[in-house]
Structure 1
Amino acid sequence: MAHPAKDKFPAEKSIIALGPWLQTPIGSYMQAWEQARLDTLTADIFGFNALQIGMPEMHALQANRMPYQWLTNGEVGAAENANKIVVAHDFSELPFATQSVDLVILPHVLEFSAEPHQVLREVERVLIPEGQVIICGFNPASLWGLRQSTGRLSGAHFLPQNAEFISLPRLKDWLKLLNMEVNRGHFGCYVPPCSTEKWLHRFAFMEKAGNRWWPYFGATYIVQAIKRVKGMHLIGPAFNKQAIKAHKGVVATNKSTK
């Protein structure tokens, strides 16, 4: 077992601040919605190597059945508690071989990353042809996005102040430039940015109403995309039947997943 370095990767420090927010009523509400959608999306994605980048508080791969599941995190202490193979690294330089991963999940990584384009480029590099990426993000065209903007003016931040919301059209443009084709997406969390359970329950009706009447204004979105390689036609399973190896920064190598 390798001994991790004690310092944190500076480019990913800001996402660590999201952890305490997830313990609040509104944070737990968002996490529960995203967990349910991720379980549905990942349950039928097959392959051999699956990778979750960041946000160890969420078990994004718990419904997936790939034999090797990796959790990578820029903050070593949180990663050590995960029941997966875990690696500490800089998100803009993934320690995995090119075309070695079948599935990558990015739960709220891009809006907290100093180099979101580079993170996506690295994801595209490590994905196999026809590999899939699932991205969770905050929607700027929502009540939460408005609250985040006004909080910067007043100083009363709703989310960590370093969060930069990325609109869905903008994200789709980034993915298109990397030859990643969006094939599925969901909006959710339509309640106002409440701070107590009491008000969350009072506005619970907005979840169903929002999904029907103003679906594009949910506070969060989940996007699933497939890596397309021009001129390549896959016949049969394309996944590698050997576990990938991390090139650097290994924190633990517990292979008893699920």
Structure 2
Amino acid sequence: MTDLLQGFDTNTYNPTDNFIDQSKELPTRMVSIYDIELNELNPLQDSEEAITEFADAIYEEGQIRSPLNVYRNKEGSGKKYRLLGGHRRLRALLLNAERYGDAQKMVPVIIEKNSSDEIEEKMKILELNEHRSLTPEQEKIIVSEYLNVYRQLESNGQKPKGQVRKWIASRMNIGEKKAEKYIHELEGYRRKRNEDPEGSDVGTNEENNNETVLQSAEKEHRKEIIKKISDYFGWKVKDNGSSICIKYKNNKNEDGFYSVLNILGFNEDGEFIK
């Protein structure tokens, strides 16, 4: 452990780069935070308030020890490296360096191979983002990014194997139903117009599977809506598939018949008023 922690006791550069094994398999070293460029392809942009709170926690702790993931920057930005993983940590470190003279300015990095194209670079960023806790909003953003990558590969004739929801769920380590829900919110329902009436093998691959999955997603979506309506009015509401049943007498036996009429736009005489 003493050898592993060497280089963390100060913010000075260790010329031997002996923080971790400098083998070709894991090229890790200490670099200045000012030599790393933030990556605009990162989809998660934390608020200034969240970064400030995180920066305070880092400063109180002393410093971070988990390496950032970077690759050598070949563009003329003046920065030696471009970030792949650790955007929140780097932003917090840069903020602390502005506020405190004794803040950590040297950080361990793992130097990754340069990506062959933008899609591969996006995939690396998404994979590295999976190691942090995500809010539902952030999860949806990541699903959106994966969905865009999937569609790009699909249009390039390189469609990944398996259904899109399963492909995304396996990479994010979330349930397929959750991935399916996010996909529905992002793309809407995709329905197969001409189903084979006899259930033959024709058109029953991913297109047919998507049909079944999206029907399931729609059912879950409708359940949420029905529950919201029921909670709002305090009445029992049920979706029968072809009709919605509203029980307008609640547990206190209060009659809500005319309230239902008013909601639908009718007066007490059954005349449409809206």
State the TM-score, normalizing by the size of structure 2.
0.22
Bigger radius of gyration among the two: 2
Higher strand proportion, which one? Answer: 1
The answer to which structure, 1 or 2, has the higher relative contact order (CA under 8 A, 6+ apart) is 1
